[in-house]
């Protein structure tokens, strides 16, 4: 299936963001805005980036009581965003309420359920009292999300094959933890190359530092896209 590249804008301020986007240009169609920029600038950073022609993935990982999450989704629906995250560990009621708000406020917005963060391994789960393996926990949360009506999930690339077998092609799988061959893993523990992630069933891959820290960010993005286009 086709696979889109999403550039992570994990940057400290508007100036750095504008500089990166000026250099990347039209090499990417999608960008991800997370808590760092949104906490500093709020909706204005989303509107500024979207005005450049990018599709925006707003990654806030909402997790609260159902009413609060639903009202937050309703508040965000007016923004020019195409995807928005919430934690599947918030439970099925929270996800259902969020979906109701999304359908009423922006039918085209895709809510994505975050399963297990790519920085979390078996030891990290055990610290929080979860005895399941990361793969088993991802499967459990994925089933919960799909049963609640979610049409998209965020997962590690290592869980892609099992989720595709489990869920078929009707659910978008958005995959961070992507590192081109030879790139620094940083804190990511469950990673995969772009081509391997596409073969495993990713609908979108999320890449940050390998592009942001490259001498030529546009060229780095183009190399990843070329790998995706030539992956059988």
* Catalytic residue (choose from 32, 61, 151, 189): 61
The structure's pTM equals 0.92
Asked if residues 66 and 95 have their Cβ atoms less than 8 Å apart, the reply is no
Domains within the chain, CATH numbers bracketed = 4-230 (3.20.20.70)
Q: What is the pLDDT along the chain (232 residues), one digit of tens a residue?
A: 679 999 999 999 999 999 999 999 999 999 999 999 999 999 999 999 999 999 999 999 999 999 999 999 999 999 999 999 999 999 999 999 999 999 999 999 999 999 988 778 889 889 988 888 888 999 999 999 999 999 999 988 888 999 999 999 989 999 988 887 655 544 444 568 899 999 999 999 999 989 999 999 999 999 999 988 887 7
61 is catalytic: yes
């Amino acid at each position: 299936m086709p696979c889109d590249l999403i550039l992570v804008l994990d940057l400290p301020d508007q100036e750095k963001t504008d500089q990166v986007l000026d250099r990347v240009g039209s090499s990417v169609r999608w960008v991800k805005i997370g808590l760092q920029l949104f906490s500093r600038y709020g909706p204005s950073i989303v509107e500024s980036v979207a005005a450049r022609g990018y599709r925006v993935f707003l990654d806030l990982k909402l997790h609260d009581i159902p009413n609060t999450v639903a009202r937050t989704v309703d508040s965000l629906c007016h923004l020019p965003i195409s995807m928005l995250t919430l934690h599947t560990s918030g439970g099925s009621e929270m996800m259902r309420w969020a979906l109701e708000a999304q359908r009423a406020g922006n039918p085209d917005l895709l809510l994505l359920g975050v399963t297990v963060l790519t920085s979390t391994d078996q030891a990290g789960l055990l610290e929080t009292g979860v005895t399941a393996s990361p793969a088993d926990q991802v499967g459990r949360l994925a089933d919960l999300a799909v049963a609640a009506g979610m049409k998209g999930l965020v997962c590690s690339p290592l869980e892609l094959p099992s989720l595709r077998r489990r869920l078929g092609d009707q659910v978008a799988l958005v995959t961070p933890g992507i590192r081109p061959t030879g790139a620094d893993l940083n804190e990511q523990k469950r990673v995969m190359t772009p081509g391997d992630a596409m073969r495993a069933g990713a609908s979108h891959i999320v890449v940050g530092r390998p592009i942001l820290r490259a001498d030529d960010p546009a060229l780095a993005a183009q190399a990843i896209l070329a790998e995706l286009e030539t992956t059988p």
